[in-house]
Structure 1
Amino acid sequence: MNLTRNGNVGRRLVVSAAVACLTLGLGACSGSDPDEPGAAQTSAATKPTDATSEDAAGDEPSSTQVEPSMGEDFDGILADVATKSCPTDKGDVKASGTVMNSKDDARDILVSVVWLKKDSGDSVAINYVELKDVPAGESATWSVPASLDRKAGRCLVSAKSNKVGTLG
């Protein structure tokens, strides 16, 4: 039995569960992003509470952020996402990439990014972008900004889509 491999599997399961919880969240505020036509973006980046060191073991979980609901019949579309960059350095960062609408009809798409603490499932920051009315077979450029008050260990991107009008 390989304990290192099993430990990594367990860690991946915890991270996957955290991302699943985020993608199934219920409403949040949204606003317009003037840099991306058809895209709405929310400054939902979160910060850890009273962190005294970058890798403090006793840090409280840093966020209860949830995404806007896309209804119960949304599709997970991570396979349609290409991430160009997802920096993890302390300060203002911006994850970016493209997402393709591989469905047969126009879709609203939600791309979310979670920056995680080193060796932890706790977030340093969370944010997302709403891409509305992406035509069938078309790709859209996305970017998700955040302000990291510490270096993140890694970032995770998730995406889902649903019929047009699902995102307010």
Structure 2
Amino acid sequence: MTLLPLHPGDDHLAESWGTMAFGAPTIIALARLCALALLRESPAAPDALPALSPEARTLLSAARERGVLELKVVNNAFVASQRFLAVYVERAPEELIAFRAADDPELSARFLEGFRQLCAAGLLLHHLNAEFSLSAAGFQAAREIPPAEVAPLLAQAQSNHPFPGQPE
């Protein structure tokens, strides 16, 4: 078997491979999406916000008190879907909710898509590494979501059992 030689400019591939173990390319893309929304000339009015998915609205509502969201991976889990990048919301100082499902990779993907929607709408700000928060518009929009509307998806996220090695 013959391998193609690396391009002389590809010396960073090993380093890039290491960052992919923590979801860095996706996190960087989401941080950039937040930055692009921040650079818009005027923030969207709350009534002009794009239609958000139920998952995006659930994340927004869950973060309404503290406004702290983080993207994490569990890279020591045995099953591939358990290693996927996922959204975590700090609902209270000692309460962290993982928006992922061990037995439902599609649900985990829908919550990550909801996070992307929040970034694009200017409802999240990127701070450091994988740490995000609600923007001022995000806090306002979160308060407008009736808790009963998101209760079923929130209950589903809260009932998920942690994966092996998952931060609780």
TM-score range, shorter chain: under 0.3
Considering fraction of residues, name the structure with more strand. 1
**TM-score in terms of structure 2 length:** 0.27
Larger radius of gyration between Structure 1 and Structure 2: 2
Considering fraction of residues, name the structure with more helix. 2
**TM-score in terms of structure 1 length:** 0.27
